[in-house]
Amino acid sequence: MIIATLFFYIVEFSEQIPDSMDSTFRKNSQASVGPSFTQFSQSFASRSRLECFKACNQNVLCRNIKFDNKTCQMDFKIYSINQNSGSVFWQKRVDPDEKCLVECYESGYRFNETQAEIFKNELTNHQNSWNLINRAICFVESFTFKNVTGLYYLYLRSNHICEIKRYSFYNLDNLSELNLENNKIDKIQFGSFKFSGNLETLSLVNNKIANIENGKFLFSARLINLHFQNNQLTNLYRGIFRGLTNLKLLNLEYNLISFIENNTFEDLSNNLTFLHKELFYGLVSLDGLYLNQNKITKIENDTFVFLDSLKVLDIRSNHLEIIHKDLFTGLSKLERLHLAGNKISSLDNGAFSYLNSTVCLDLDSNSISFLSENSFTGLLKLKEVNLCKNKISKIYNYTFINSSKLTNLYLCYNKLEEIDDHMFNGLISLEDLTLNDNLLTSIDRNAFRNLSRLDISYNQLNTIDLSENKNLTYLNLANNKFVNLSKLEELILRENPLKELKYPLISCASNNLKKLDLSSCTLDNNDIDEMLFTNLDKLERLYIQSNLFDNINASYLASLKNLNYVIMDQKVTNIEEIKQNIGNIYCNYIPTQPKRPKMAN
């Protein structure tokens, strides 16, 4: 048996068939069905692709047709010829992309300009709303509605439509709602909604759409509601929602989404307001979800229950007000939760109880007024919490009792007035505590035993006892009310591992400090700025030798009007500049390498 596969384009069948095979084909086809293959092809050469298909589908000669979707030409294939018997064997084959059209002509019809005109004339009222539900429509031809005006609502659900052409809805300028639910749509040509510029609601529920090309909705700027549930979407990429600047509701539930690219929703122009239950159904492989900078006011409980693999959830800069107990159900693998920039005023007890793997929680810039004993229940692996820029005035004792792994706690810009010795119980690993810009007037001496960094600047403190803080390496006390230091004349901080002295050591302007010793403190070029020397108008002697810096801004020292004695290392490269700018000052140069302070074992 000789196997041969031939392609014939319908506009040139007679020219493409080899003579030897054409004669064999004619002999058998004429004996069985009448007209020859060449005659049949010529008779339909001038017809459109779909007209030819419809006629072909009724003729035995066309049982194994295939359309070329790119060139819009129709191919006839001869799969095999048994030369021994001289018979032709046909095998019906349809391109998967055209399967819908085959089914269409078996059970449906095209909706075209003529059909639209007939339907319009039959309407006695409700001219602005067309109900074409369940009419076996399989195809909406281009320019079907070119003579239709004043149409606001078009319902085409429960038909057999498999593809939306670019000009299918041409001229529907006033269309407000388009319903295409329960069809077989797997393709939407680019610009299909370009001519429906006032479209506000589009429903594509229960179709077969597997991907959305970037800019598909570029011309749908007024779209408010987009229903995309129960399709076959697998990936969402940045740019697919470009142009939807007024979108408020996006429903993607019951798809097959496994990947959502970062900033996918940024083109929605901050208008998403609501996330409902089961929106993310089936996204079992998704590890990052970014919904930041929208206008989400409510998220139903259990919305994220299907996101078994999610590690990062970013809902920053929305309008959330309350975090309910069951909101984060199912997020057992979540590592980072970003809720900054919302309007959250309260946290339900156990609000984070399902977040057993979370290490970072960001609640910056909200309206939380207090933290209860159960605010952080369940956060057993938590290492960092940011609560800056809230309205917290009260932290109940033992709030952090189960946060033994927490290392960084940021509480700046709140309304705390006091801190007692039980407020931070349980924080045995805490290293960095930021409390600047509160209203603190007192701090218990046992509050921060294990800290290495403490910032309590810009408070109302007039006294502080840090005798229990033996591990402290960074301390910022700037802008408090330490009036009891106003008579201090000598401050010796030699051989302490100080870093980042970029704040006034003494905030009291009327102090009497005359001697400051910062020698052997491992300070480098980036650890000192002009703020260090604020309020030191009476300083006379400065010791800054045996550090790591090799340059110091001359203007910093020039501001010290009474300074007359400085000890620094000979390695400082701009000594001459310092002498020139300061004038009457004695500099003692010590040619030694900086000595690091001894650290406790």
- List pLDDT tens digits, range 86-95: 443 333 334 4
Q: Would you say residue 66 has pLDDT above 50?
A: no
- Interval 425-452 mean pLDDT: 87
Please give the pLDDT value at position 569.
83
> Per-residue pLDDT averaged across 131-145, rounded?
90
- Beta strands 360-362 and 336-338: pairing type? parallel
Looking at residue 281, its pLDDT comes to 65
> Per-residue pLDDT for 184 more than 70?
yes
CA atoms within 13 A on the CB side of 314: 17
pLDDT of residue 200: 93
User: Using 50, 70 and 90 to split pLDDT, how confident is the model at 213?
Assistant: confident
Q: Which CATH superfamily is domain 393-481 in?
A: Ribonuclease Inhibitor (3.80.10.10)
Q: What is the structure's pLDDT at 283?
A: 65
pLDDT at position 267, please? Answer: 63
The answer to whether the Cα torsion of 179, 180, 182, 188 is positive or negative is: negative
> pLDDT for 445-482, tens place per residue?
777 777 888 899 889 887 777 767 777 777 787 777 76
Instruction: Give the model's confidence band at 80: pLDDT under 50 very low, under 70 low, under 90 confident, else very high.
Output: very low
Structure tokens at 546: 């045996």
State the Cα–Cα distance between residues 359 and 384, nearest whole angstrom. 6
Q: Is the pLDDT of residue 591 over 70?
A: no
pLDDT score of 46 more than 50: no
In this prediction, residue 596 has a pLDDT band, given cuts at 50, 70 and 90, of very low
| Contact by Cβ (8 Å): 529, 559 | no
- The mean per-residue pLDDT over the stretch 555-582 comes to 81
pLDDT value for 47: 46
Which pLDDT does position 11 carry in this prediction?
A: 28
Taken in order 44, 48, 51, 54, is the CA torsion positive or negative?
positive
Per-residue confidence at 51, pLDDT binned at 50, 70, 90? low
% of the chain with per-residue pLDDT over 90: 23
pLDDT at 599: 37
What dotted CATH number matches 484-601?
A: 3.80.10.10
Q: What does the pLDDT average to over 494-519?
A: 76
What pLDDT shows up at residue 390? 97
How many Cβ atoms from other residues are within 10 Å of residue 526's Cβ?
A: 11
pLDDT given at position 332: 93
pLDDT of residue 489: 80
Give the range among 18-32, 330-344, 373-387, 574-588 with minimum mean pLDDT: 18-32
Lowest mean pLDDT among 19-23, 183-187, 251-255, 551-555: 19-23
**Reported pTM:** 0.55
Supply the pLDDT for residue 485.
61
Q: Where in the chain is the domain with CATH 3.80.10.10?
A: 393-481, 484-601
CB count in 10 Å sphere of residue 555: 13
Q: How confident is the model at residue 587 (pLDDT cuts 50, 70, 90)?
A: low
d(CA 421, CA 423): 6
Average pLDDT, the chain: 76
- pLDDT at position 447 is 79
Query: What per-residue confidence (pLDDT) applies to 523?
Result: 86
pLDDT category, 370, cuts 50, 70, 90? very high
- At residue 359, the pLDDT reads 97
Instruction: For 274, list phi and psi in degrees, rounded to 5.
Output: -150, 130
pLDDT of 589 higher than 80: no
Nearest to 286 by CA among 268, 265, 313, 316: 313
- The whole-number average pLDDT for the span 351-364 is 95
Please report the pLDDT score of residue 39 as a whole number.
41
Report residue 266's pLDDT band, with 50, 70 and 90 as the boundaries: low
Q: Is residue 45's pLDDT more than 60?
A: no
Q: What is the pLDDT of residue 78?
A: 36
* pLDDT bucket at 17, cuts 50 / 70 / 90: very low
The conformation of residue 524, written as its DSSP 8-state character, comes to -
Alpha-carbon distances, residue 160 vs 58, 182, 229, 351, 544 (angstroms): 20, 8, 18, 46, 84
Report the percent of the chain where pLDDT is more than 70: 73
